[in-house]
Chain A
Amino acid sequence: MRVVIADDEADVVTFLKSIVEELGHIAVSFADGNKLAQALMRETFDLVILDWNIPGKDGIDLLKWMQTALPEHPPVIMMTNRSAKKDISDALNAGADDYITKPEDRSVVAARINAMLRRNAGAGAFDAEAVYGKYHLNRLDQSVTVNGETITMTAKEFELADLFFRNADRTLSRNYIMETIWRTNAVLATRTLDMHISRVRAKLDLQPENGFRIFTVFGYGYRLETITTSN
């Protein structure tokens, strides 16, 4: 698949290119926002990794432009030095599909790129059982087994865990989660979601030692991150 790397810092471009190519994809880089915009109008890409402070048209402008000018635009991962909660939520709300704060570990970046490309390729088929690391999900009786031990969960807790596992390394907005699990547009009391996530986290003991962590994107949503312990 073709991945656009839009950044003007050569080191960063090299770093990202090597990840993309390691994942078996084609990397195309742009150092100027306007040129990227022209390319997006003519060519087809599967993912854009976009720097906020790119010369020409900057990241947020490009995002907004894509929302209006390119209805079928590829997913966008914002990747910048900006780490403030407001910047992150602004970018996500402006249409970015994910957000990575520089610097980030190679493995994390790879997982996030992978997750985004996977989604774009169509989420995995609905299987009765799925295995995510040490977690075995049985969607028929809505149970999770860890090391042969079955963990009792409520329906909503299971659905939440399932949603996270299926969308591992993808940032999910709170609204998306609530619409998916509770199937309602009504604004749920924020504490309800927090409590559910807290319980899922506690029951499944989702922590790096077990290969996963739930990451809160303040002001936006959550992400289940897979922890790679290669080294």
Chain B
Amino acid sequence: MNLRRRLAVEWLAIGLFATCLLVATLFWRGTASFDHLLYDQLSAAQRPPADGDILIVAIDDTSLSALGKWPWDRDIHARLITKLQQKNPRAIAFDILLSEPGPPDADQRLAAAMAAGPAPLYIPLHFNAPGSNGRDYDTILPAPAFAQVAAGIGHVNILFDDDGIVRRTSLCFTPDKGGKTWPHLITRLFESKGQPLSKSECSNPLLIPYAARGSFSEISYADILNGDVPEELVRGKNIIVGATAAGMGDNFPTPNGAGGMLSGVEVMANVLAASRRNDFIRPLPDSWTYALTLAPMWLLMVGFLRFRPRVVLVVSLISLAGILAISIALLFSRLWFPPGAALLGILLVYPLWGWRRLQAMSVFMDSELRALEQSGEVRPLPIPSNQTTDIVGRQSEALASAIDHMRDLRRFVSDTLADLPDPMFVTDPEDRVTLTNKLLNESLEKDISGWLLTDALDLMVVAEQRPAVDHYIGQPQAKGQEYVRFVSPADKTFVMRRSEVRSDSGVLHGHIHYLTDITALAKAERDREEVLQLLSHDMRAPQSSIIALLDGPVDADAKKRIERNARRTIQLAQDFVEIARMGETDFAGEDVLLADLVREAADSLWPLARERGISFSVRDTSDSAFVLAEPESLHRAICNLVDNAIKFSPADAVIGIEIDRQDGANVTVTISDSGDGIEADLLPSLFTRFASTGQHAGRVKGLGLGLAFVHAVITRHNGTVRAGNGDAGGARFSFTLPVA
């Protein structure tokens, strides 16, 4: 299984596992302790102000000591109610259980007081649990005398959370399934204003936003009885009568600061205040809770696939903070989302993923290393030397060694590239040069790494050949043209081949451009062209002349001309062979007495000169100078010069030949004729090979290889050759050689 698939499977498994775990946690409130703690801290930060319209009439320790121990005579209650009603309260919740009948006259007096008004008075009922006859609850109603006169009866149930803290209240209570629903005593009191709570609303337990402890107005029961209370304290108020004395057993732990014990009446006062403000904190619906719990976890899971490990850690921390922030934000809008499970989800999947991924990587590394080993490209895994490192550590070592080896391999490859015998460079798919080799850098005298291909080509190709090169580069590789040939600004001729580099999966990684310096080849090609030119023209021309001459009467003159043509061909062939030979062999000089060589050259052309009455004037001041020469080719070169001089001299002219030792180190041979001289515009190209072919007319025409041969020979002899016109007008050729 490849790494990608394995990781995908691991990922899915972790996601499903975490989902199940979180659902279970939510279902069984696995994080209740944490959530309660968090809720207590958060809610403490936003306590509502006390409600001034609520007055607690407390059966406190003062009252107990003034009125005697509990339970009190019902007449006392009757007197209290009468006193209260005289001060015109808005409504009274009388949180004292009156379930069993007392002495009939006292009960009657109390009932009368209750019924007197004007404010409505509500009394509680309570439930015994477990109930008799297998029922969950037995409903214990107040004694009928009171039940009949009370404005309403409500329950005063206290809801304890798992940790025994009172955070919530149910505004309705249904003891029997499908039976009568009892509203809360406070709801009765609240509804008396004409604001009924909806049924569905009342059945859900709501979280009570507690005001600070003791912030509600409280008057001792005894003080009311004594009549010490001014009427304005009571008028228009919602009165809650109940026990607060420590010994009465009606105190409950609430998340209300240190100690946090609140009397039942104070809890009710808070419920009433919340009802009046309508700011109960509602628990988030279950579906939303599940969604909010699972969503961050899955988001993080997706993040695992997207981000690098370091980023994932940051994302995880952000997720944790985000969840808390959401919870706090919801609390401000009176909704409670317990974030424990969601936080747990994040804390769970991060290490889980890290572990599983490491595991997968470990297995992957192992199999890849084994594959590498089998492919034979990498040396075998080293035997772990240090047994104290764990398996992943050892795998890392093996991997490091494999990478080392790969690096060596890469270096070897790049060294090989660098030392390739042809210039080359590599471009990436964006046509940027990524790799060059030594030869390229040398031939460009520049490192073009990092250049754009087009800039690099600007440097390498002369402008007029760019379109051809661009055309070659622009076409797909498969298309026919295998190479492109161009000339560099340095006047070198290159053939460039371009090949694609593709990975096993076919992704284009770039191109390799091979340059082959074919300058020598191109020159050989040009030479061959010249040879063909020579063969097709210079060689043919004399033969054609001979054939033409044979067509007429072959008299003495014709014979002479035929002979001349034939000799010209031989001369040409000989020059040509000599030039070719010089191109192939190294210079092998021997001591040659230059003056004698010149004399013999003149001697050998004497018959030709004599025919036209031409004579030589040899002036030798060389003092028997020897030169290091290949006598045969130097002899021919001098012959060529003398031959030229004869050819272009008028009849009966004198050809000057000077062998002059200018200084100790050099000797110069000058051959001057008295012909028409050389046209100035021909001088520069006089010695290039085959200058005489084709376009040039006049003086140079028909020279064949002669002057090129001279140039080649003298250059080969480490000398210099010059052409010009003499003062008297004739041509003047001279060459200088070092004295041996």
Contacts and interface: CB of A to CB of B under 8 A. Distances in A.
Interface of A: 83-85, 103, 105, 190-191, 194-195, 197-198, 201-202, 207-209, 213-216, 218, 227, 229
Given A103-B566, A218-B635, A198 B600 contact: no
A9 B324 CA distance: 117
Contacts of A229: 610
A213 B604 CA distance: 9
B596 A85 contact: no
Nearest to B577: A84
A201 B620 CA distance: 13
A80 B626 CA distance: 31
A148 B624 CA distance: 28
7 contacts: A85-B632, A103-B566, A198-B624, A207-B599, A213-B606, A218-B631, A227-B606
A218 B636 CA distance: 12
A201 to B, nearest CB: 6
B201 interface: no
A103 B602 CA distance: 19
A201 B574 CA distance: 28
Interface in B125-178: none
Given A85-B631, A195-B624, A208-B610, A216 B596 contact: yes
A26 B593 CA distance: 42
Nearest to B595: A198
Closest 10 CB pairs of A and B: A208-B606, A85-B632, A213-B603, A194-B593, A218-B631, A218-B632, A198-B596, A198-B593, A208-B603, A190-B591
Given A83-B574, A84-B632, A201 B599 contact: yes
Interface string B583-609: 000000011110111011011101100
B414 to A, nearest CB: 50
B570 interface: yes
A177 to B, nearest CB: 15
Contact of B600 (A83, A85, A209, A213): A213
B571 to A, nearest CB: 11
Contacts of B610: 208, 229
A191 B607 contact: no
Contacts, number: 59
B369 to A, nearest CB: 69
B562 to A, nearest CB: 12
A185 B626 CA distance: 24
A191 B593 CA distance: 8
B600 A214 contact: yes
From B574, B581, B607, residue with most partner A Cβ within 10 Å = B607
Interface string B535-578: 00000000000000000000000000000001100100010010
B635 A191 contact: no
Contacts of B599: 201, 207
B600 A216 contact: yes
Given A194-B591, A198-B593, A198-B595, A215 B600 contact: yes
A85 B582 CA distance: 13
A84 B632 CA distance: 8
Nearest to B606: A208
A195 B624 CA distance: 7
A201 B598 CA distance: 12
Interface string B102-136: 00000000000000000000000000000000000
A116 B532 CA distance: 43
A70 to B, nearest CB: 32
B628 to A, nearest CB: 12
Contacts of B635: 218
B606 A207 contact: yes
Contacts of B597: 216
B574 to A, nearest CB: 6
Contacts of B566: 103
A158 to B, nearest CB: 19
B619 to A, nearest CB: 12
Nearest to B609: A208
Contacts of B595: 198
Nearest to B635: A218
Contact of B591 (A85, A191, A215): A191
Contacts of A198: 593, 595-596, 624
Contacts of A208: 603, 606-607, 610
A229 B581 CA distance: 36
Interface centre among B581, B603, B632 (most CB of A within 10 A): B603
Interface in B623-641: 624, 626, 631-632, 635
Interface string B628-663: 000110010000000000000000000000000000
B574 A191 contact: no
A190 B599 CA distance: 19
Contacts of A202: 620
A218 B634 CA distance: 11
A224 to B, nearest CB: 11
A64 B635 CA distance: 30
Interface in B43-85: none
A218 B597 CA distance: 11
Contacts of A218: 631-632, 635
A207 B600 CA distance: 8
A105 to B, nearest CB: 8
B624 A216 contact: no
A218 B610 CA distance: 25
A201 B600 CA distance: 10
A151 B690 CA distance: 48
A105 B595 CA distance: 26
Nearest to A107: B607
A207 B631 contact: no
Contacts of A103: 566-567, 570
A197 B593 CA distance: 10
Contact of B603 (A83, A105, A197, A207): A207
